[in-house]
A and B are shown apart, each in its own frame.
Chain A
Amino acid sequence: MRQLESEVVGGLFWMAVGLFFALAGVKLNVGTLTNPGPGFFPMIIALILIFSGLLTLAKGLIRSVRPVSGISWKQQALATASVFFYGLLLDFFGFLISTFILMFILFGLLIKGKSRWYRVFLYAAGTALASWLVFSVALSVPFPSPSLTAIWR
């Protein structure tokens, strides 16, 4: 993977975050130093964040300090996406089937080697069933009831 200048990337990121909070809070009443309003602290802190982000960026541009490399992101991004996908599935399929799909994706990302999909299927089915028994049946966590007619109940 490409090497990233951690100072440059970090500085830019935190400046953006600070800028976002500063702009979004611009309508809040700042008040005065002796009588601060609700917007006083957000503005000060956002400015501190922008300023220290700028310093970090400058430091990174002047002398390249620590390049960060080898941040793997594929598995993490896919896992995150699959969780959001799971949120959509949950309404439609209910807990048991959605969880099986989620677990299938996650184990699929992690398990390598021979008879891979067989093992993935086995682990996913086992985890989905066990968690369904624990969370849905035993602890009765109120998951959305599936809009698909429940044939598995």
Chain B
Amino acid sequence: MEFLSNILTGFQVTFQPINLLYCFVGVFLGTLIGVLPGIGPSGTISILLPVTFKISPVSSIILLAGIYYGAMYGGSTTSILVNVPGEAASVITCLDGYQMARQGRAGPALGIAAFGSFIAGTFSVIGLMCLSLPLSRFALAFGPPEYFALIILGITLLTYLTQKSIAKSLMVAAFGFLLSFIGIDMISGNARYTFGIPGLMSGLSILPIAMGLFGVGEVFQSMAAPEQRTIFETKLRGLLPNRQDWKDSWKPITRGSLLGFFWGIIPGASSVSATFVSYALEKGCSKHPEKFGRGAIEGVAAPESANNSAFGGGLVPLFALGIPPSVVTALLFSALMIHGIQPGPFLIPEHPDVFWGLVASMYLGNIMLLIINLPLIGIWVQVLKVPQFALLPFILLFCIVGVYSINNSFFDVGVMMLFGVLGYLMKKFDYELTPLVFLFILGPILEQSLRRSLMLSGGSFLIFFTRPVSASLLILSGLVILSYFFFRRQTKAVVEGNAH
């Protein structure tokens, strides 16, 4: 009964007119920026973070989450019709989606992408609901040693699962950690790395950093590549997939939803990699793998489902443990912190309206998205004709005004621009940004939990191994590191072997 009353609370929150509006604005905006190449969901969410100062925590989290899963729907449209991914998680959809469009089957491709997203989105909300509550109850007993071990495991997985080199992601992580030291040390009260600059005394805020790395960084990237878009002119009749399409797709959608959800829980395993893994899985499962890349509907259905359910999966550790496994969940983490809500096991009991309101809004948002994306597809095709240059200066201005309005200071704007340049260069030099954000946010918790644990134990490191949870988490991290020497080399060999 408790479960039912919780969901009821959630829907009461969501059905408040103001929250319905924010949910709609979120998913609509999400679809829009998903359709438009050049600006992705992380950029949009960071740009909108200052806006959420003015609205309630529930509304802001509903809005920001809506942008993300809305973008997951919208991204497929561009992939299928233009062969350019609207955002990173739709890269793989280009392979078969565009081929389907060339064969005159753009309608079913768009249709199965939207339905797959809908099924996966709904599934992942149910999973989120069922997993978060027990996990957070379990985590209520966590003390500093457990948090230390948990974050260590997070960093290990993040570094291990990187698609770039491990050294690179280690360096980016270290940099993020170093940035988090700026300001007053919470335990000793010493100022660190403030250089007497007043703007640094309270530490760097995540807002100018995120808006720089993702907002300004994406603007710079789009400046560099003003691509010519040719929209595939095709008659968009019959968006509904036929019976054969469904027969081919229901298994991939199911597998994609399941895989995406659990993949999304793991730190560093983003929705982008979820789509790649899911595509590879379908190719492996298929009886005719040679069709993949030539317009196989399975190749659209599975990854589009996986990227949607990965988001729901990613919310599980955020709400149950306070560990954001991806950039977008890290941004949601910051949005909650702005409102003085600390994500972690106490969030659901102390702010049930935030969690259950978000859950209920995601049910609703997915339904809205199905309507926004299928009957209104014509609008999005028109949106694609907007030239990119028309948007970039405006996005940059929006970043400047947004970051300026937080403290009414131009110092933050300067910080944002520096991180914009850095974000652009890091993307160009093939670095991942996730470790930076992850450690910037969790670094302080890691440092304090280690120092508090040592205070608890009087300086003995045994405390991490006498407590069962922290011991098993640390052993797990050790196993992950060990497995690197066995598996990663093998997979590398396999990859290199395939290349020749």
Contacts and interface: CB of A to CB of B under 8 A. Distances in A.
Interface of A: 6, 9-10, 14, 17-18, 21, 24-25, 28-29, 32, 34-39, 41-42, 45-46, 48-49, 52-53, 55-56, 59, 66, 68, 71-72, 75-76, 79-80, 83-84, 86-87, 90, 99, 102-103, 106-107, 109-111, 123-124, 127, 131, 135, 141-143
B428 interface: yes
Interface stretch (B231-239, B282-290, B447-455, B464-472): B447-455
Chain B interface: which size bin? 35 or more
A94 to B, nearest CB: 14
A18 B393 contact: no
- For the complex of A and B, list the 4 residue pairs with the smallest distance between their C-beta atoms, beginning with the closest: A34-B459, A106-B393, A110-B389, A49-B174
Interface in B157-216: 167-168, 170-171, 174-175, 177-178, 181, 185, 187-188, 190, 192-193, 195
A56 B396 contact: no
B262 interface: no
B460 A34 contact: yes
Given A9-B429, A28-B192, A34-B454, A75 B397 contact: no
Contacts of A49: 171, 174-175, 178
B484 interface: no
A4 to B, nearest CB: 8
25 contacts: A6-B429, A18-B178, A21-B181, A28-B192, A38-B188, A42-B178, A42-B192, A49-B171, A49-B175, A52-B170, A56-B168, A59-B167, A71-B425, A76-B220, A79-B396, A83-B417, A84-B417, A86-B400, A90-B410, A109-B223, A111-B389, A124-B393, A127-B393, A127-B397, A142-B408
Interface in B390-413: 390, 392-394, 396-397, 400-401, 404-405, 408, 410, 413
Contacts of B420: 80
Given A6-B430, A25-B193, A36 B397 contact: no
A14 B195 CA distance: 20
Given A48-B170, A87-B413, A110-B389, 11 more contacts: A25-B181, A25-B193, A41-B181, A48-B174, A66-B430, A76-B220, A76-B224, A110-B392, A110-B393, A127-B397, A141-B404
A103 B193 contact: no
Contact of A83 (B178, B190, B400, B425): B400
